[in-house]
Amino acid sequence: MQIRYLDGPRLRRSLIAACDYAQQHRAELNRINVFPVPDGDTGTNLAMTVRAIGDHLRGNTDRSVAAVANQAAQGAVLGARGNCGMMLSHFLLGFSESVVGQARISSQQFASALRAGVEKLHSSLEDPVEGTILTVMRDAATAAEASGEPDFVPMVNHVVAEARESLARTPEQLEALKKAGVVDAGAKGFVSMLEGVLLFVEGVTIAVGSESASHDEVAAAAAIVDYPVEEEQFRFCTEALVRGQDLPEQTAVREVLREMGDSLIVIRTGEILKVHVHTDEPEEVFDYLRSVGTLTAHKAEDMRIQHDALGRGANHVTLARRPVSIVTDSAADLPEDVVRAHGINVVPMSLVDGDQTYRDGVDMTATQFHDLLRTADTLPTTSQPAPAAILEGYERAAEEGESVVAVFVSSTLSGTVSAAEAARKLVDADVHVVDSLGNSLLHGMMALKAAELGEVGTPAEEIVSELARIRRNSGILFTVRTFERMMASGRVSKGKALVGRFLGLKPILGLNREGKVEPYGKAFGVERAKGELLRLVRAEIPAGTKKVRFGIVHVGMPEIIGEISAALRAEYGDKVEVLGAPATPVIATHLGIGAWGLAWMVED
């Protein structure tokens, strides 16, 4: 077989194969991760990054290599985690920029694109270190340029062979690797991506999700290496995603943040700014980023606590890299940016349409369901997650954490909690199931809070207790524009709906502290309903509250997010955190187009 050119479909299939194969090496990469910090997360960070790339490409139908390369780069930026993910993102951005406008490229143009990716990455680094993914990427690009092959098949074989040799030399270039007797984890992850492309070219089918076997002699490398206190003086691995139309240039952001820590990597592309930095003051980083745009996701993980967790699990088959990992369901309505930033495992609800079952957020997005609400005569019915999906969520989370905290939609609204309790007994893991007594972004923000507590080493039992305390002062209210869906779901009688319609009445409903739906108020007309809902929320927040977050959820009216966010920030300050998201089908099907809700979470 000969391949003389690379077009969009070929690049897409190759990249998906690369991403699928790289995910199989997650555990192995975690075990050998000793540089720059032995926190055992390179495999997880790479897996999450390439999963985001694959997710962006699977539904893509572009024919040009330029469009596919751009999609891959954007997916990488949005999903980038850790040093390796950020570096891979820069590489793919450089590759994408070099093929702009190209429908297809030759092998030599491909080699030039690899070189452009390396140069983009190198220029972005504060302190380039040899013996890392940068070195192997450069050697791979050099091999591609030197091959001179017009056929991609022998060229890919040559590139993979040279990349493997480059990887084998990394311990000679970095003392930390030599001392631990391992190769660089990020570089090995990149080689696994190249190997995935080679397997695809050779016609080998790559199974998604299975993991390759690892070697016992390197299994505990990340755990037995001492934490480098002298070299790594900062404690928190801090990452953030900022969106905005007038974001500062990459160099300007680096100039500010280099004073706050090290291991700094900044990506600026279009209306997105992504930052990775090791620091002792994450809030200072976040405050600066809030000043330049909308901070849509952020996290700060305690690297020393991660290393301690590795030490406790050094003799386990699976090497946990954090004390606690988090599971929730798709009814949480958490934005993709937040889910990917914190590595939250989301179990999809089910949507049933005749003989066809869709996974909420995977096979059908909330926005797609909203479009159906506008146009379809019949809608898929909603159902709790399949038991197998809950088990899979537990198992995936247990691979990452010593304990699992699973935060699910209220037991008063769904059988998910009961199913989750049953599944907990079938998995060999320390799982703590939390009934959020909430829905949508109320229980989503509780899952987010659980993730944040876990990242700073809070034990699972304390997280469960803290969520229960927080829930007592938190809640969510909704209002609807029409009564059709509430009638269809049996929430409102036909008679009451007719009266409400005639009077222009807009009910305001919410969940009480027991998780049950009850009326909170009403208003005449859409605009008055906005003001009344905000007044009711304000009244529910205890006087003197210092730390509160909000979540705005909507059914087919994204414009409400900006309007309500502005009102909240005018009252609670510019630093107040406000999440926004379209409502999951489980909620949207009962409320209808034009409905929206506001959740609040008091953390005092």
pLDDT tens digits, residue range 43-71? Answer: 889 999 999 999 999 989 999 999 999 99
Residue 382's nearest CA partner among 227, 589, 241, 545 is 589
Quote the pLDDT of residue 215.
43
CB neighbours of residue 377 within 10 Å: 5
pLDDT tens digits, residue range 176-203? Answer: 999 999 999 999 999 999 999 999 988 8
CB neighbours of residue 459 within 10 Å: 16
* Tokens at 444, concatenated: 């989503």
Query: Which regions of the chain carry the CATH code 3.40.50.10170?
Result: 322-471
Q: Are 324 and 402 in contact (CB under 8 A)?
A: yes
Quote the pLDDT of residue 421.
96
Residue-wise DSSP of 39-78: -S-HHHHHHHHHHHHHHHHHT----SHHHHHHHHHHHHHH
Quote the pLDDT of residue 526.
87
Helix (H, G, I), strand (E, B) or coil at 430: strand
Pairing relationship of beta strands 350-353 and 294-302 according to DSSP bridges: unpaired
475-602 is a CATH 3.30.1180.10 domain:
yes
Residue type, 348: P
Residue-wise DSSP of 464-495: HHHHHHHHTT-EEEEE-S-SHHHHHTTSS-HH
Distance of alpha carbon 601 from alpha carbon 415, whole angstroms: 24
548 forms beta bridges with 602
Distance of alpha carbon 183 from alpha carbon 174, whole angstroms: 9
Helix (H, G, I), strand (E, B) or coil at 513: coil
Alpha helix stretches (DSSP H) within 148-207: 152-173, 175-180, 185-201
Distance of alpha carbon 149 from alpha carbon 108, whole angstroms: 8
Q: Are 267 and 124 in contact (CB under 8 A)?
A: yes
Helix (H, G, I), strand (E, B) or coil at 236: strand
Query: Which regions of the chain carry the CATH code 3.30.1180.10?
Result: 475-602
What architecture does CATH give domain 322-471?
Answer: 3-Layer(aba) Sandwich (3.40)
CATH fold label, 6-224: 1.25.40
Quote the pLDDT of residue 493.
44
Mean pLDDT by 10 residues, the chain (604 residues): 92 96 92 82 92 93 97 96 95 98 97 98 93 97 95 95 97 93 96 95 70 46 55 84 95 96 94 96 96 95 77 51 90 95 94 87 90 85 90 92 95 95 94 97 98 94 98 95 58 45 71 92 90 96 94 96 96 94 88 94 95
Residue 583's nearest CA partner among 490, 465, 476, 431 is 476
Tokens 């680096």: give the residue: 254
Residue 403 neighbours by CB under 8 Å, 6+ apart:
323, 324, 325, 429, 430, 431, 432, 459, 460
Query: Which regions of the chain carry the CATH code 3.30.70?
Result: 236-306
Q: Are 553 and 585 in contact (CB under 8 A)?
A: no
H or E element that contains 442? helix 440-455
Helix (H, G, I), strand (E, B) or coil at 99: coil
CATH fold label, 236-306: Alpha-Beta Plaits (3.30.70)
pTM here?
Answer: 0.87
